[in-house]
Amino acid sequence: MEIRTLRYFAAVAREENMTRAAEQLHVTQPTLSKAMKSLEDELGKKLFVRHSFNIQLTDDGILLRKRAADLLEMADKISSEFQSMNDITGGDVYFGLAESWQIRHLARVIKEFVTAYPDFRYHITSGDTEQVTEKLDKGILDFAVLVEEPDYTKYNGLLLSEKDIWGLLMPDDDPLAKKESITVDDLVGLPLFASEQSIAADFPRWCGGRMNDLTFAGTFRLAYNGSVFTREGLGYLLTLDHLIGTEPGSGLVFRPLSPVLENPVYIIWKKNQVFTPIAGHFLDALKTYCKP
């Protein structure tokens, strides 16, 4: 299976139309159709259902679309790395970021680095721990930011100087908004929103044996989506401070949990990682910035 064929497939999957995909790829439609038929024959699976005016992916096609996206990201990164191996002044560095107010520290280092190395290019993807570490393990990312302690058998890491604080996001006219902090007793009986990761790892260490007293009405990987449901009065979002704007007129307020629940934030990379020169320089800048 050739990378070029996977690029063809990705274009067809994206456009859901053979003619438009061929135009984007600058190949003829018969060439593209032949390549897709050969790919189906090679895999022994039907990837498309062809209709009059569009193409629909089969279940096997949907699976290949995800796998192809990872492989093409990796191929592009490998190409970029080799092109940058002799370039100490520029190149591409890839970051995977969990949601955290502390990524502002990373942004500050990037800003200084862009000034020092004008040919430096950075690429950002966001997700929870599972999503970003999966890409880091595959070599698609150079660095990741986690809002939890990393697995030091697999990763090296730098601890940022500040921690993220957990609290409750709610409508500004809610009775709990009058409180300075939120306890477990305040949460009992409320429809709560949180991420699956925080439900599994963070709140049990805060409320101990009282997790069964809490009712989770839904889970969100993105705090913003949870805040929309909260603003509409569907529930209360357990989230980190500063992720959602609570300025006057926002309709929302944030109150920290009591006792305080906080998470350290780490910048990590794979053990024995071979960096391009620019990524190595960036790591040196991170280490300098994170010195106690």
pTM of structure? 0.71
Cβ atoms 282, 199 nearer than 8 A: no
Asked whether residue 91 carries a pLDDT value surpassing 90, the answer given is no
Question: Among 21-25, 115-119, 181-185, which range has the highest average pLDDT?
Answer: 181-185
Contact 196, 163 (CB under 8 A): no
Q: How far is CA 135 from the centre of its chain?
A: 9
Beta bridge partners of 156: 269
pLDDT over threshold 70, residue 83: no
Mean pLDDT of the chain: 90
Angle, helices 59-84 vs 129-138, to 10°: value is 60
Q: What is the pLDDT of residue 180?
A: 97
Nearest Cα neighbor of 122 from 135, 105, 109, 132 is 109
Give dist(CA 250, CA 231) in Å, integer: 9
| Residue 87 confidence (pLDDT) | 52
Distances in Å between the alpha carbon of 274 and those of 86, 199, 283? 14, 35, 12
Convert the pLDDT of each residue in 144-197 to its tens digit.
Answer: 999 999 999 999 999 999 999 999 999 999 999 999 999 999 999 999 999 999
Residue 17: name the closest of 57, 45, 72 by CA.
57
The pLDDT of residue 171 is 96
Close Cβ partners of 124 (under 8 Å, ≥ 6 residues apart): 95, 97
Q: How confident is the model at residue 100 (pLDDT cuts 50, 70, 90)?
A: very high
Taking residues 228-243, what's their average pLDDT? Answer: 96
Let me know how long the chain is: 292
Q: Do the Cβ atoms of 61 and 47 come closer than 8 Å?
A: yes
| CA distance linking residue 183 with residue 257, whole number of Å | 6
pLDDT band at residue 272 under the 50/70/90 scheme:
confident
Element (H, E) at 67: helix 59-84
Residues 192 and 135: their CA atoms lie apart, in Å, by: 30
Q: Which residues partner with 268 through β-bridges?
A: 144, 157
- Give the residue from 166, 147, 170 showing the smallest Cα distance to 227: 170
Rounded to the nearest 10 degrees, the angle between the axes of helix 18-25 and helix 29-43 is 110
> In whole angstroms, what is the distance from residue 147 CA to residue 12 CA?
37
d(CA 286, CA 16): 43
Burial of 241 (0-12, 13-18, 19+ CB in 10 A): middle
Q: Which residue has the tokens 């150079």?
A: 142
- Answer for the pair 58, 48: CB distance below 8 angstroms, yes or no: yes
Average pLDDT for residues 222-251, to the nearest whole number? 95
Query: Which of the two residues, 203 and 116, has the higher pLDDT score?
Result: 203
Task: Render the burial of 178-196: b for 16+ CB within 10 Å, e for the rest.
Answer: eeeebebebbeebebbbbe
**Mean predicted confidence (pLDDT) in 100-127:** 92
Given a cut of 60, is residue 86 above it in pLDDT?
Answer: no
In terms of DSSP bridges, do strands 143-146 and 90-97 run parallel, antiparallel, or are they unpaired? parallel
